[in-house]
Amino acid sequence: MELSCSVQQYAWGKVGLQSEVAVLKSSSDATIVVDENAPYAELWMGTHPNGPSILKSTKSSLEEWISSHPECLGKKTRERFGDQLPFLFKVLSVEKALSIQAHPNKAHAEILHKESPDVYKDPNHKPEIAIALTPFEALCGFRPMEEIKNFLKSIEELRQLIGEDVVLKLINGGESETEAALKACFTELMKCPDELVAVQSQAYLSQLSTMDGDQREKKLASLFERLHTQFPGDVGCFVIYFLNYVKLLPGEAVFLGPNIPHAYIYGDCIECMACSDNVVRAGLTPKFRDVKTLCEMLNYQCGGSVKFTDVQKLDQHTTLFSPPIEDFAVSKIELTKSCHYKLIPKETASICIVIKGQFVADTVTYKRGSVFFLEANKSLQMDVNDEGGLLMFQAFCNI
C-alpha cells in the first residue's frame, strides 16, 4: 500500500532541491512544487498525529486503516504494543544545527507529560537511530574525560562561563567524583546568563582568529564559528567541548538511547524512533529550553563507542541495524542493476522508502521517494532494472 507522507518545514532544514526530503517528496508526487527558498527538514512516515501518512489508494490515514485491520501489525507487535504502530520513520535534511537535546526514558516521559502536557505532548520515550545518507555531522554523548579536561584547561572563556571553582573540582577530583563534577560543570555552563555568554563568545572568537591552522583544528574552531553564525551568543556553541563530535559516512549510524545529550549538525539521514515527539532542549534553539530538566536527566558517563556497531548482513543485499530496544529496527536493502530479489518477510508490519533507483513488483513501479506499508508476514518480489541499482530502507518492530 503506497503512502503519501507529511513534510515538516522546520527552519533548520536544507533549502529547496538541496534537501533530500524535498527531492524524495517531489520525485514520488508530480503535484508537488518545490519552493527553492523554503526549508524542507523532515519526511514523516507513520501514524504520528503531527504528520500522519495517508494511503494513496483510499485517501484514508494509515492509522485508520491499521485500526480497521489490526491483524496487519502481526501477533507479536499487538501483544507488546497493542493495536498501533510503535515507531516513526523519517528522512532528515539538516542545514543548520538542531538543538542540544535529550529524550526521556518511558517513566520520565510519563511524568513530564503529566506535569507539562503542553510541552511534552505524549507519555512515550523516544530512542532513535540515525543512518547517514550523506556525510553527516552530529554531537553525541560526553567526550572522554581527558578531552573535556584538556579543553577546560586551555579555553579561558569556557572556564569563565562555568566558574573556576567548579572547573577545578572536575580537573583535580578523584575518579569516584567524576560524574558528579562533570554534571556540576555542564549545569553551570547551561544556566549561564545570556549576557555573559555573549561577552565570552566574542572574546573567544577573537582568540580563534589569531590561531594558526593546527591550533584552530585542536580547538574545533571552524565548528564553533559555524554554530555561532547560526546561533550568535548561544551557550550551545560551547557544548562542543563536552560532547563527542561525530562524522558519519553514508551507511554509518548512531543510536541515541534515553538521556544521551546530542545534536545533529549537518547532512541527510534516515531516522527511526519510538512514536513520540518528546524532546528536552537547552541550547542552539529558539524553542522552549528546559535547562533544569535536561541537566538533571542526562547520562554523564564519558567515552565509549559513539558509532552504532550492532549491524549484521542478513544476506547479500540486506543489512540490519538492530538497536537494543523492541520499538524498531531498520534494514538497508541495496540491489544492483538487473537484480531479482524477494524482500525478507517480517513478523511485524513495516514501512519502506526507496532512496535511489526503482523497481517493479506485481506490475507496480516503485521509484525514488516511493513509500509503502507492508503487512506482517508479507513480502515483495522485486525486479530492478535501473542503471544505478536500488537503495531502500525498511523499518519494523524489533521483536
Instruction: Give the position of cell 495517508.
Output: 54
Compute the half-sphere exposure of residue 237: CA atoms within 13 Å on the CB side of its CA. Answer: 26
Check if 281 is active-site: yes
CB-CB contact of 95 with 272 (8 Å):
no
Name every residue whose Cβ is closer than 8 Å to that of residue 223 and which is 6 or more positions away in sequence: 240, 245, 265
CB-CB contact of 131 with 268 (8 Å):
no
Whole-number Å distance between alpha carbons of 389 and 223: 35
CB-CB contact of 112 with 205 (8 Å):
no
Whole-number Å distance between alpha carbons of 189 and 182: 11
Compute the half-sphere exposure of residue 264: CA atoms within 13 Å on the CB side of its CA. Answer: 29
Instruction: Give the position of cell 519510538.
Output: 274
- The number of residues in the chain equals 399
Whole-number Å distance between alpha carbons of 65 and 59: 10
Whole-number Å distance between alpha carbons of 132 and 389: 19
Q: Considering only CA atoms, which of 35, 12, 17 is closest in space to residue 94? A: 12
Q: What phi and psi values does residue 228 have, to the nearest 5 degrees? A: -70, -35
Q: Considering only CA atoms, which of 359, 388, 385, 383 is closest in space to residue 372? A: 359
List the catalytic residue out of 78, 159, 226, 281: 281
CB-CB contact of 86 with 273 (8 Å):
no
The C-alpha cell that represents 176 in the structure block = 569516584
Name every residue whose Cβ is closer than 8 Å to that of residue 238 and which is 6 or more positions away in sequence: 157, 158, 161, 189, 197, 201, 224
Amino acid at 6: S
- Report the catalytic residues: 281
